[in-house]
């Protein structure tokens, strides 16, 4: 940077810079079953996210003896006023939607009553000492195809997996598992993720009318920096 403010840590990594946004944590909390017989969960943020672009929601399901799974994620609100999110359990055979979340955006919000704030040259708030930042920790994209089966409705359900231990301080980006994927047909390919905690495995599950085997969607993880 030619001018402004820059902080580096003991490893010479830039932690605050007056030109570039960091991934700032706006709200944290828990999500829990709220509807649909315990299958659905609507969670409202402790404060709205005021970014124009949709914020990133990261979740850490509670560890269970069986399988936890989520899908159908959608944000609640609109540009400049994102107020919450919805997720749904994968099936009646998986755990109800219980766990922790944080929502983050590449912009800070004026939260702190005192401390420090930093803006860029356009007036965008980059840093507020009341909003911690998050760091991306890892990403999985090399999925292994496991099997395919037919649902009672005659749709193809495919399973893909990667070995995965799920530390308590890591969260998965759930936005991507709320998007439908192209399937080569008129019906989009639905997408879910499940966790087998006992088997140390992360699964992606797709459901479509036809059966495309290729799957390259990344699973992205992050943690809140203390």
pLDDT at 1 over 60: no
Give the pLDDT band (50/70/90) at residue 3: low
Task: Phi first, then psi: give them for residue 177, nearest 5 degrees.
Answer: -90, 15
Instruction: Report the chain's terminal Cα–Cα distance, integer Å.
Output: 26
Burial of 133 (0-12, 13-18, 19+ CB in 10 A): middle
- CA 47, CA 29: separation in Å to the nearest integer? 11
Among 66-70, 145-149, 187-191, the least confident range: 187-191
> What mean pLDDT comes out for the span 111-132?
84
Condensed to tens digits (0 to 9), the pLDDT of residues 30-50 reads 999 999 999 999 999 999 999
> Which position has the higher pLDDT, 85 or 214?
85
Q: What is the reported pLDDT for 100?
A: 98
Residues 6+ apart with CB under 8 A from 46: 27, 28, 29
Q: What is the reported pLDDT for 31?
A: 98
Among 1-5, 58-62, 110-114, 140-144, the least confident range: 1-5
> Which position has the higher pLDDT, 84 or 112?
84
Condensed to tens digits (0 to 9), the pLDDT of residues 68-84 reads 999 999 999 999 999 99
Q: What is the reported pLDDT for 80?
A: 94
Helix (H, G, I), strand (E, B) or coil at 191: strand
DSSP secondary structure code for residue 152 in this structure: T
- CA 80, CA 220: separation in Å to the nearest integer? 24
For the chain, list the strands marked E by DSSP.
Answer: 6-8, 14-17, 24-31, 40-49, 56-61, 67-78, 81-89, 99-105, 117-119, 125-128, 134-140, 144-150, 156-163, 171-173, 190-196, 201-208, 219-224
Above pLDDT 70, what percent of the chain? Answer: 95
């Amino acid at each position: 940077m030619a001018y402004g403010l820059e902080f580096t840590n003991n490893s010479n990594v830039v932690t605050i810079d007056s030109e570039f946004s960091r991934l700032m944590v706006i709200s944290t909390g828990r999500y829990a079953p709220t509807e649909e017989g315990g299958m659905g969960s609507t969670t409202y943020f402790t404060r709205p996210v005021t970014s124009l672009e949709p914020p990133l929601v990261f979740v850490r399901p509670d560890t269970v003896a069986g399988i936890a799974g989520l899908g159908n994620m959608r944000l609640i609100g609109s540009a400049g006023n994102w107020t919450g999110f919805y997720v749904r359990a994968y099936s009646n055979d998986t755990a109800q939607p219980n766990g922790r979340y944080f929502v983050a955006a590449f912009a800070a919000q004026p939260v702190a009553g005192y401390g420090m704030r930093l803006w860029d040259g356009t007036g965008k708030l980059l840093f507020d000492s009341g909003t911690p930042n998050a760091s991306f920790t890892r990403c999985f994209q090399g999925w292994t195809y496991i099997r395919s089966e037919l649902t009672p409705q005659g749709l193809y359900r495919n399973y893909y997996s990667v070995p995965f231990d799920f530390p308590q301080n890591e969260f998965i980006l759930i936005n991507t598992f709320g998007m439908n994927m192209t399937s080569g047909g008129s019906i989009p390919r639905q997408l879910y993720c499940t966790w087998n905690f006992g088997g140390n495995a992360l699964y992606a599950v797709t459901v479509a009318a036809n059966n495309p085997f290729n799957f390259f969607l990344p699973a992205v993880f992050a943690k809140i920096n203390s």
